[in-house]
Structure formats: structure tokens, C-alpha cells
Structure 1
Amino acid sequence: MSQDLLVEVRDDLMWLTINRPERRNAVSPDVLSGIARAIDQANAERGTRAIVLTGTGEAAFCAGADLQSGKAFVFDYSEPRSGFANLFRKARQSNVPMIARVNGACMAGGMGLLSMCDMAVSSSSARFGLPEVKVGLFPAQVLTVLQHLIGRRKLTELCITGEPIDAQEALDIGLVNYVADDVDQALDALVARLLDKSPAAIRRGLYLMKNIDEMSFEESMAFTESQIALFALTEDAKEGQLAFREKRKPVWTGR
């Protein structure tokens, strides 16, 4: 395994830490492929309840592409798909919740990593931005995962001015769930409210949410009315309803 990405399982959580502080945790091919492999691993192991994505240190969550390398935008044009796009596809298919722990600057491709996650908590000192226009580029792939999170006017402003926003504004526009001086305290509080819920409901629920995102109203209705019956067939659904009637805490099997 490359040291560019640290993978650690802590109880029910899989922690993915971009470990390139000398490059402000800019992405590398090893970072992209490592996150993709870890998502596959987490989805294959029922014991993993959530994936936490963060960066080493306090300066940066992820600064995006490594412009210092001079190879950040060098592609193999014989391949129809790129590494970053493939990672976004992989995250889209994940039924394990992904949480971004934004510990510092979140810029350019880092905004893509943030946006591909299902939820996010941020340090109050973090800053967010899409500065690609400053170097003659545009956050093209990032838009696919970012465009449904925030309003069009603010998105356009971020893209065409390249100017950053602070953590409070990121919270105000819906880019993150929580902002705190102690980012780990906010993360722990969010995770605690996830871990006591049905693993099966969360797994199937994320599958449902991601599939209806681009459906028309009638397509979504047809899909969800079939899915609700499948929710009810799970062991967790039966246990949850029984525990409700018996006025006790449910004991989840995740099935």
C-alpha cells in the first residue's frame, strides 16, 4: 500500500487519510486508486458502518490536483475514463455512508472528494474553493458531484471567480452538515447518531436515494413503491417494529 493514503479500521469506521502534507494533501494516482479500493473493501465487509475521509494535519483536507508535479492534467487519451471520474463513480455506488472530515483547506479536486461524500463536518478554520480558473482551467468533473448540493448562483460564482469561502458560508449554503472548532467532536456526534440505527435500512436507503436522484417523478414513485416492500422484509425491519411494540432498544443484525 502507498503511504499517500493511510487506511485504518477503528471499530465500526474505516478511516481514509490523505497523507501528503508536503503537498497540502493534493491527490496522486495512489490516493485515487487507494480510496477506490477502500470503498470496495468497506462495502464488502458488513462490519464497516461508515467511511471517514480526511487529510493529515490541520492545514489542508485536500488541495486538489498536484500542480507542482507538472503531470496533474496529463491524461492517457486512449482511455475513455479517468481516475478521478472513476472514483466519483465508485463513491456513487457505495452503500456505506461516506463522511468527509474537513480539517483544513478544501480546494479544487478536494471539493470533489468532499462532494462525493454523503455528509461532511468541518473545522471552523477550513476554507473552500474552486480556484481552477486562476490557472486557466475549470472544475469540470467536480461539477458532476457538486451541482446538486448548492444553489446554481452560488455555484456559478465559485466557479467563475475562483474565490474561496469560509466554513460558516459553506454551512450556510449546504456544502457541509456541521462546523465546529473541534471537528472530531462534531464527527463523533454525527457518527453516534448513525451507529445506533439499522445497518440494513441505511445500506438499502443509500441505494434508494442514489438511484432516484436522476429519475423523473413517476419513475421515482414506481421505484420507491417497490423498494418499500423490500425494506419491510429485512430482519432489521422486523426487529425494529417488534422493539417498538415491546418498548425496548432494537438489536440489529444488519440483515
Structure 2
Amino acid sequence: MSDELLTELRGAVLHLTINRPERRNAMSPAVLQGLRDGIARASADAAIRAVVITGVGEQAFCAGADLATGKSFAFDYAQPYQGLAELLRTARHATVPLIARVNGACMAGGMGLMAMCDMAVASDKAIFGLPEVKVGVFPAQVLAVLQNLVPRRVLNELCLCGEPISAQDALQVGLINHVADDLDAKLDWLLARLLNKSPAAVRRGLYTLKTVEAMPFEQAMAFTESQIGLFALTNDAREGQLAFREKRAPNWTGS
């Protein structure tokens, strides 16, 4: 891993931290690749139960593209797949929950990093925005992960006006799950609620949630009819139901 992205496994949780405070934790090729590698690692390792994505310090979660380089939008158009888009694809196919720890400003492409996560907890001092129109571009790629999170009129205003909103406003429109003055305490609370559940149910459940999102009703029903049968075949399902009957805590194996 590059020094621009810190990686730490704390128990069953993989923490990926953007380490570019001098650039307000703006994205770089190394950051994008490191996030992709970390998420892929977590999806392949059954011992990892969650991934937390955040930025160093208290000023910024991620400010988006690094405009100071002058090369932020200098893509190689001979390559059909670009860095941020590939990261969003990797996150979309992840079967381990991704949690954004929004410690400060979450702007532009940083909104994409936050929105690609399955849950988000924010500091009460965090702000959120899509300021691309102020520099003559548009938040095109992040629309793929933002458009189903907030009402269309809210998304239109964020994209077209480019002005930021507060953490409380972000909470009100459904952009994030929780706002807290003690960010880490709230993150630990959320992780505790996640990590004591069936690993098998969470992984297959996350796959099911992501798959049905774009399906029409009849297709979704046909798909979920088969999925519920597969859930019931897991060892965790058998153990969970047995533990319920025996009035004890389940012993999950994740299989």
C-alpha cells in the first residue's frame, strides 16, 4: 500500500484511511488503487466483517480530485475504464459492508466515496457538496452512486448550484445514517450492531440488496424467491434458528 492510504486491520474491521491532509485528503491514483485493493481484499477474506473508509485528521474526509496537480481530468481516453469508475464498480460488487466515517469536508469525488459505502456516519462539523460547476465540470461519475440516495430535487440543487450542505441537512435528506459530536463512539456503536449478526446473512444479504435495486417488481420477486431458499441452507441459518429455540446467543461460523 502507498503511504497515501493507510491500512489497518482492527479485529474483524479493515480501516482504510486517506493520508493526504496537506491536500485535504484529495484523491490520487495511489489512493484510488489502494481503496480498490482494500475492498477486494475484504470481499475475499471471510474473517473481515466490515470496511471503514475515512480521512486523516478532522478537516476533510475527501475533497475529491486533486485540482492542485492540474491533471485531475487528464484521462487516457484510450483506456475505457478510469480509476474512480473502477473503484465505484469494485465497491458495488463488494460483499462486505463498507462504512464511511465522514470526519470533515466531503466534497466532489469524495461524495462518491461516501455514497459508494453502504452506511455513513458523520461528524456534526462535516459538510457535503458537489462544487464541480464552480470549476467548469460536473459530478458525472458520482451520479451513479448518489442518484438513489437522495430525492431528485435535492440532487439537482447539489449538482447545479454547487453549494455545500451541513451534516444535519445531509441526515435529513437521507445522504447519511447518523451525525454525532463523538464520531468514533457512534462508529463503534454502529459496528457493534453489525458485527454480532450472522456473517453469512450479511454477505449474502448485501449481495441481494445490491442485485434487486435495479430490478422491476416481478424480476425482483423471482430472484428473491430463490435467494431465501439459499439463505436457509447456510449453517448460520440453522444455528440462528436453533439458538432462538434454545434461548441462547448464536455461535456464528459465517458459513
How does the TM-score come out when normalised to structure 1? 0.99
Aligned to 2:159: 159
Following superposition, the deviation at residue 252 of structure 1 comes to 0.1
List aligned pairs for 1:117-128, cutoff 5 A. 117-128=117-128
2:188 is aligned to: 188
Mapped pair 1:86 → 2:83: no
> What pairs up with 1:23-102 in 2 under 5 angstroms?
23-102=23-102
What is residue 136 of structure 2 aligned with on the other side? Answer: 136
Inter-partner Cα distance in structure 1 for 2:122 and 2:165: 13
Alignment of 1:140-219 (within 5 A): 140-219=140-219
Look up the equivalent residue of 1:65 and give its one-letter code.
A
* Unaligned residue ranges in structure 2 (runs of 5+): none
What is the aligned-residue identity percentage?
A: 66
1:3 alignment counterpart: 3
CA distance in 2, matches of 1:191, 1:87: 23
Q: Once the 2 structures are TM-superposed, how far is the Cα of residue 43 of structure 1 from its aligned partner? A: 1.0
CA RMSD of aligned residues (A): 0.4
The TM-score, its normalising length taken from structure 2, stands at 0.99
1 CA distance for matches of 2:51 and 2:150? Answer: 23
- CA distance in structure 2 between the partners assigned to 1:240 and 1:128 by the alignment: 40
- For 1:117 and 1:72, locate their aligned partners in 2 and report how far apart those are by CA, in whole Å: 23
Q: Whole-Å Cα distance in 2 between the matches of residues 2 and 46 of structure 1?
A: 24
- Runs of 4+ in structure 1 over 2 Å off: none
Q: Which residue of 2 aligns with 1:220?
A: 220
Q: CA–CA distance in 2 between the matches of 1:219 and 1:52? A: 32
Any residues of structure 2 matched to 1:243-254 within 5 Å, and which?
243-254=243-254
Corresponding position of 1:105? 105
Q: How many pairs were matched up?
A: 255
Instruction: Measure the CA separation in 1 of the matches of 2:74 and 2:7.
Output: 27
Paired with 1:153 and 1:114, the residues of 2 have a C-alpha distance of 20
- Residues 60-119 of structure 1: CA distance to partner in whole angstroms, max 9, x if unpaired? 000000000011000001011111000000000000000000000000000000000000
- CA drift of 1:225 comes to 0.3
2:13 & 2:190 partners in 1: Cα distance? 12
Structure 1: which 5+ runs fail to align? Answer: none
Q: Could you tell me how far apart the structure 2 residues matched to 1:44 and 1:219 are?
A: 28
Matching residue's letter, 1:148: N
* Structure 1 equivalent of residue 232 of structure 2: 232
User: Aligned equivalents of 1:215 and 1:167: distance in 2?
Assistant: 31
Distance across 2 between alignment mates of 1:213 and 1:100: 20
| Cα distance in 1, alignment partners of residues 151 and 8 from structure 2 | 35
**1:28-58 deviation digits (Å, cap 9, x = unpaired):** 0000000001111111111100000000000
Counterparts of 2:26 and 2:97 in 1: how far apart (Å)?
23
Q: Distance in 2 between matches of 1:104 and 1:14?
A: 20
- The residue matched to 1:139 in structure 2 has which SS? coil
Is the partner of 2:88 in helix, strand or coil? helix
| Residue matched to 1:114 | 114
1:54 partner SS? strand
Match of 2:242 in 1: 242
Partner of 1:20: 20
